[in-house]
């Protein structure tokens, strides 16, 4: 029996930490993130749902100065310093051939056959579900007391060549600095729309 939490709301402190007070940071305190923390982020990230348990995200955790420099060189000007100073930067990529893994990831049916011969469909699924996994990653990091700084301002093709050279079917989606955010580096919170602005109940 799976453990269920029907009707249980997380504490206000937890909701503040993960959503209401969490910000996208532009700079970082000089405090390291360990490999154990990186693993802990992934252990939560992987539990988030993806279609047919595709798990298409392929993540490179950029931690060395050399790799950060390589990534920063491929990013837009305003993102370079953010990459160089982050304790770790996750490159959230995706595998266009994720379906090859479905026999063990979704073992109760032949899901691999649904995607064979449909590369356009696979690209759409991989992008959608790796974007979700990137979001799970940010919520996981925040849940573990870390901060995030997501970025899409970089040359995806160049990053693919540099970081996925041995995996030509992998593509970068977005990158995310992870560490302890420096509160002096963020602007006022941008507006968040009220329910009625972009929602309706049909
Ligand atoms: C996928 C994605 C890409 C982003 N790309 C960049 C970027 O290239 N450079 C940057 O400085 N901020 C980038 N941002 C940060 C957003 O501007 C920021 O998350 C948004 O304004 C909300 O800020 P807040 O979380 O502090 O409220 C990106 C955010 C996301 C989710």
In order of start, what are the domains of the chain with their CATH numbers?
Answer: 34-185 (3.40.109.10)
pLDDT reported for residue 145:
98
> pLDDT confidence of 110, banded at 50, 70, 90?
very high
Q: What pTM does this model have?
A: 0.98
- At 37-74, the pLDDT tens digits run 999 999 999 999 999 999 999 999 999 999 999 999 99
- Report how far ligand 1's centroid is from the alpha carbon of 95 (Å): 24
Give the distance between the most distant pair of CA atoms in the chain: 52
Q: Residue 149's pLDDT is what?
A: 98
Which of 57, 152, 156, 175 best tests ligand 1's pocket when mutated (most atoms within 8 Å of CB)? Answer: 152
User: How far does residue 74's CA lie from ligand 1's centre (Å)?
Assistant: 18
Ligand 1 center–CA 25 separation, angstroms = 8
Give me ligand 1 centre to Cα 26, in Å.
Answer: 9
Ligand 1 pocket: which residues have CB below 6 Å? 23-24, 78-79, 150-153, 174, 186, 189-190
**What is the reported pLDDT for 69?**
98
- Ligand 1: residue of 26, 91, 150 to mutate (most ligand atoms within 8 A of CB) is 150
**Confidence (pLDDT) at 117:** 95
Q: Which residues contact 90 (CB under 8 A, 6 or more apart)?
A: 59, 60, 61, 62, 137, 175, 176, 178
| d(CA 84, ligand 1 centre) in Å | 17
The gap between the terminal CA atoms of the chain, to the nearest Å, is 34
181 pLDDT band, cuts 50/70/90, is very high
Average the pLDDT over 81-92 and give the result.
Answer: 98
Q: How far is the CA of 189 from the centre of ligand 1 (A)?
A: 12
Which H or E run includes 171?
strand 170-179
CA distance 142 to 177: 12
Instruction: Kindly report the average pLDDT of the chain as a whole number.
Output: 98
Percentage of the chain exceeding pLDDT 90? 100
Q: What pLDDT does 99 receive? A: 98
CA gap 37, 192 in Å, rounded: 30
Residue 79 burial (C-beta neighbours within 10 Å; 0-12, 13-18, 19+): buried
Using DSSP's 3-state secondary structure scheme, residue 41 falls into helix
- The predicted pLDDT at position 119 comes to 97
Q: What is the pLDDT of residue 46?
A: 98
User: pLDDT tier at 91 (50, 70, 90 boundaries)?
Assistant: very high
Residue 186 CA: which ligand 1 atom is closest? Answer: 26
Residues linked to residue 89 through DSSP beta bridges, in sequence order? 62, 177
């Amino acid at each position: 029996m799976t453990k269920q939490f029907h009707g249980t709301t997380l504490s206000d402190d937890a909701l503040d930490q993960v959503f209401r007070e969490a910000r996208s940071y532009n700079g970082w305190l000089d405090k390291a993130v360990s490999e154990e923390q990186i693993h802990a982020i992934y252990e939560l990230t992987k539990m988030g749902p993806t279609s047919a348990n595709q798990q298409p995200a392929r993540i490179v955790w950029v931690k060395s100065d050399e790799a950060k420099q390589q990534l920063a060189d491929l990013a837009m000007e305003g993102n370079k310093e953010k990459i160089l100073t982050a304790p770790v930067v996750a490159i959230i990529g995706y595998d266009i051939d994720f379906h090859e893994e479905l026999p063990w990831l979704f073992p109760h049916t032949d899901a691999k056959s649904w995607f064979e011969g449909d590369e356009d469909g696979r690209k759409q699924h991989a992008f959608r579900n790796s974007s979700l996994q990137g979001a799970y990653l940010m919520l996981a990091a925040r849940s573990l007391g870390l901060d995030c700084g997501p970025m899409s301002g970089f040359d995806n093709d160049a990053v693919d060549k540099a970081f996925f050279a041995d995996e030509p079917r992998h593509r970068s989606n977005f990158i995310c600095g992870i560490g302890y955010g420096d509160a002096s580096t963020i602007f006022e919170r941008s507006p968040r729309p009220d329910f009625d602005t972009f929602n309706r109940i049909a």
